[in-house]
A and B are shown apart, each in its own frame.
Chain A
Amino acid sequence: MAFLVLDGLTKRFGEHIAVENLSLAVEQGEFLALLGPSGCGKTTTLQMIAGFVTPTSGTITLAGQDLLAVKPAKRGLGIVFQSYALFPHMTAAENVAFGLEMQGVDKSERSRRVTEALELVGLGKFAERHPRRMSGGQQQRVALARALVIRPSILLLDEPLSNLDAKLREEMQIELRQIQRNVGTTTILVTHDQSEAMALSDRIAVMSQGRIEQIAPPHEAYERPATPFVANFLGKTNVLQAQVQSGQALLGEGRWPVPAGSPPRVLVTVRPEKIGFADGGAQALAGQVVTRIFQGNHWLYQVDTAHGRVTVIRQNSGETAPAEGEAVRLSWRQEDMSVRPAETAR
């Protein structure tokens, strides 16, 4: 049995269903990301695990024990709150020390571990600072140190890096991943940043409107999204309407075989980076470049075709890039596209 199991978890706020029949199993030492748009119930789910929100129905078990019967103070979880929730009347060091004090760790050991934790998040010099005199990112890192220092059985992180600049965020991501690998703390990370979820986690649970759409390793969720919502949420994607004739989807001059039994109208999904410019040949969709944006390591194109606007990403590998207004022919490999009946489109 898995380490942490959420089973049929539901939370209603009056009429509004924040989390609906959510089931999830997290293995010991796993790094799981809860990914979803704003308001989809990520924080509510996390707060139910933490014990600050009581589920309307459903169960939570930790290592075979009913967690709902345990008081929040006894759950031994390390939590980084979305609003940081630092103690404003205490310095950074006092904030971090609080949990150790509650555990009855003696003073010298305490100060050693506090210093260590603050060094870890790069705030060694800010130990005596009060939270209100710190930037949002610094506060966020104090919150992280405060959660890490008690060596919790599970780490619950509610958008712990959302306020950091890109460079610092990347550093903290690597740090977080390393801590998690070294200590082996089971971690649940809430985020609405899909690249962060993919960079850090062993598995991603994509949520939408209180339900889980797909739980899968990042690569699998990206390559084989279970629903259109997941496909759209995990990076850019192109969805093209196509007719099916004698087992083949018609896209421009291209003919792509589709699974047997496909309806006459299908939706074809292709990731922008999987589309290439074909020199010639029949297997291609003709179009015209509308915009071309240089983004350093790659070019981003918008191409108008008979099937709508298509986004194309090409590596900046030195080959000549088609100019705006130029006619191009788009093609991709059979295995890079997925086909769905048009009716299921949402």
Chain B
Amino acid sequence: MSAAETEDRRSWMPYLLSAPALLLFIAIVLVPLAMTVLLSFHDWGQYKGIETVFILKNWREIWSDGYFHEVFLRTFRVAFLVTLLTAVLGAPEAYILSRMKSPWKGIFLLVVIGPLLISVVARTLGWALLFGGSGGVVNKALLNLGVISTPIPFMFTETGMMVALAHVLMPFMVLSVWAALQKLDPQIENAALSLGASQMTVLRRIVLPQIMPGILAGAIIVFALAASAFATPSIIGGRRLKVASTLAYDEFLNTLNWPLGAAVAVLLLIALVLIIVGSNRIIERRYAEVFR
């Protein structure tokens, strides 16, 4: 066999080997996605059902109707604030965890990851039980103690949605920062100390910049999951407070306006991809040195 022949076969090998996975990916991701995109251009009427035509009606509706603007704005506002909340609480949490001694470290890490092991629905209902209306345990206690005169609103509020989402998504932030912290050389902090830096300065000038990539990676994950979350917003937001994913769900299953639901879903996907890719670009450029 000549060398060229061997070379030829080698270059085909990777494609051949990845073909099964590629086919599966095309069948269960790309095809439905393409079909959803197509669907968003179809027409729909109360009595005629779905018409397979190519029109921009659904997109125009989303573009011009203030209701959709409100929903999308809410979706990204909630996602952004949830991301901020997890970063502000999760980064220090991860740092404290990494500084704990051996048995506690493992126990508290488990506590942090805990929420991931419980069903989203059970967890969200737990929050609802704590704060739901005047019947919620915490509200009841505070009311009885006289700390507050009206129950803290939680159900059907954006705040409630954010708190519950932040709780659910906290592990992703903590684990991502945790991974960045593991790469830190403890002697680097010692070096800064020996040069006369205070503990606060070490945290701010030495530790934070080094774990920034971890925080940002966590932020991207949390943002994407928060913007596309379904169970938590639908339980806490109910039918009144819609976000993009619950809106799409409603169009599909309640109104049965599949094309409009598809347009909402596709728009959410496009917006998410743009935001994530864009911020990733900026981050990679900004932190080129730390990422290497």
Contact B206 A50, beta carbon cutoff 8 Å: no
Decide yes or no: A87 and B192 within 8 Å by CB, A81-B187, A102-B201, A132-B292 being known contacts.
Answer: yes
Compute how far the CA of A197 lies from the CA of B185 in the bound complex, rounded to whole angstroms.
Answer: 28
Compute how far the CA of A72 lies from the CA of B187 in the bound complex, rounded to whole angstroms.
Answer: 12
Instruction: Name the B residues within 8 Å of A71 (CB-CB).
Output: 193
Contact A73 B197, beta carbon cutoff 8 Å: yes
Interface membership of B5, Cβ < 8 A: no
Compute how far the CA of A253 lies from the CA of B194 in the bound complex, rounded to whole angstroms.
Answer: 61
Interface membership of B231, Cβ < 8 A: no
Contact B191 A102, beta carbon cutoff 8 Å: no
Contact B290 A88, beta carbon cutoff 8 Å: yes
Contact B195 A150, beta carbon cutoff 8 Å: yes
The total of chain B residues at the interface (CB under 8 A) is 20
User: In the complex, which of the residues A75, A86, A133 contacts B194, with contact meaning CB atoms closer than 8 Å?
Assistant: A75
Instruction: Name the B residues within 8 Å of A102 (CB-CB).
Output: 195-197, 201
Instruction: Name the A residues within 8 Å of B192 (CB-CB).
Output: 87, 98
Interface membership of A79, Cβ < 8 A: yes
Q: A245: shortest Cβ distance to chain B, in Å?
A: 58
Contact B195 A99, beta carbon cutoff 8 Å: yes
Interface membership of A110, Cβ < 8 A: no
Contact A81 B210, beta carbon cutoff 8 Å: no
Instruction: Name the A residues within 8 Å of B114 (CB-CB).
Output: none
Compute how far the CA of A81 lies from the CA of B290 in the bound complex, rounded to whole angstroms.
Answer: 20
Instruction: Name the A residues within 8 Å of B197 (CB-CB).
Output: 73, 98, 102
Q: B56: shortest Cβ distance to chain A, in Å?
A: 48
Contact B191 A81, beta carbon cutoff 8 Å: yes
User: In the complex, which of the residues B188, B196, B198 contacts A87, with contact meaning CB atoms closer than 8 Å?
Assistant: B188
Instruction: Name the A residues within 8 Å of B195 (CB-CB).
Output: 98-99, 102, 146, 150
Contact B196 A99, beta carbon cutoff 8 Å: yes
User: In the complex, which of the residues B190, B196, B209 contacts A81, with contact meaning CB atoms closer than 8 Å?
Assistant: B190
Return the chain A residue nearest B198 by Cβ. A73
Instruction: Name the B residues within 8 Å of A83 (CB-CB).
Output: 185, 187
User: In the complex, which of the residues B190, B198, B201, B209 contacts A50, with contact meaning CB atoms closer than 8 Å?
Assistant: B190
Interface membership of B289, Cβ < 8 A: yes
Q: A287: shortest Cβ distance to chain B, in Å?
A: 51
Decide yes or no: A85 and B191 within 8 Å by CB, A98-B197, A103-B196 being known contacts.
Answer: yes
Compute how far the CA of A51 lies from the CA of B185 in the bound complex, rounded to whole angstroms.
Answer: 17
Instruction: Name the A residues within 8 Å of B289 (CB-CB).
Output: 88-89, 130, 132
Compute how far the CA of A79 lies from the CA of B185 in the bound complex, rounded to whole angstroms.
Answer: 16
Instruction: Name the B residues within 8 Å of A79 (CB-CB).
Output: 190-191, 194
Interface membership of A286, Cβ < 8 A: no
Q: B123: shortest Cβ distance to chain A, in Å?
A: 37
Q: A126: shortest Cβ distance to chain B, in Å?
A: 14
Compute how far the CA of A87 lies from the CA of B210 in the bound complex, rounded to whole angstroms.
Answer: 9
Beyond A52-B190, A89-B210, A150-B195, 17 extra complex contacts between A and B, CB < 8 Å? A50-B190, A52-B187, A52-B193, A72-B190, A73-B193, A76-B196, A77-B194, A79-B191, A81-B187, A85-B185, A85-B190, A86-B188, A86-B191, A87-B191, A98-B192, A102-B196, A132-B292
Mind listing 5 A-B residue pairs with CB under 8 Å? A72-B193, A81-B190, A87-B192, A88-B210, A98-B192
Nearest 10 interchain pairs by C-beta = A99-B195, A102-B196, A85-B191, A85-B187, A89-B209, A130-B289, A85-B188, A72-B193, A73-B193, A79-B194
